[in-house]
Amino acid sequence: LQEHIEDLIKREILEECNSNYASPAFTRRKKNNDIRLIGDFRKLNEITVTEHFPFPDTHNIFLDLKGSKIYSTIDLNMGFHQILINPEDTHKTAISINGKKYKYLRIPFGMKNAPFSFQKNMIEKYDTNSWSSTFCQSIC
């Protein structure tokens, strides 16, 4: 676990902190046996204002791609961790694990608005032409 935390710190996803916030954290094994660090953000999510951003209609995505000769998908690894959190808000993402506190510098798994923020970011960056579409952590 400590190795995983150190890797997240090295990649500027986490940093040690002294925040008044502290969500509990735990780990789960992924299918490939890697560790996933998960913050239990239920209390924080209760007081977070929901960001509404529409997800694309998958039916329309398939209609748009109909007739294409080549199909490809890209599944982004640790997709949420690609998006920076506003520095003024990072203290709210603090987790407590192994007697220390860490805050996320990038969007963690489990935050209420993570899917909306991620989808909005993906559309702004990659959904700019008629031959591609984005849906969550995939680009088609």
Tens digit of pLDDT for each residue in 58-111?
A: 777 677 777 777 777 766 667 778 889 999 999 999 999 989 999 999 999 888
One of 3.40.50.740, 3.10.10.10, 3.40.50.2300, 3.40.50.20 is the CATH number of 2-139, namely 3.10.10.10
* Beta partners for residue 25, in sequence order: 39
Alpha-helical (H) ranges within 1-140 are 2-10, 42-47, 58-65, 114-126
What global pTM score does this model have?
0.74
Residue 77 pLDDT: 67
d(CA 53, CA 44): 20
Tell me which residue has tokens 């591609």.
132
Q: What is the largest CA-CA distance in the chain?
A: 56
Residue 55 pLDDT: 67
What stretch of H or E contains 75? strand 74-75
> How much is the mean pLDDT over the chain?
83
> Greater confidence, 88 or 139?
88
> Greater confidence, 138 or 135?
135
Provide the percentage of residues in the chain whose pLDDT is more than 70: 84
Determine the Cα angle at 33 with ends 32 and 34, to 5°: 95
Domain ranges of the chain: 2-139
Q: Is the pLDDT of residue 30 over 80?
A: yes
Q: Is the pLDDT of residue 133 over 70?
A: no
Q: Which residues have a Cβ under 8 Å from the Cβ of 101 and sit 6 or more positions away?
A: 16, 17, 18, 19, 22, 94, 95
Provide the percentage of residues in the chain whose pLDDT is more than 90: 40
Determine the Cα angle at 80 with ends 89 and 38, to 5°: 80
- What integer is the mean pLDDT of 11-29? 94
SS3 content of the chain, % helix, strand, coil (to 5): 30, 20, 45
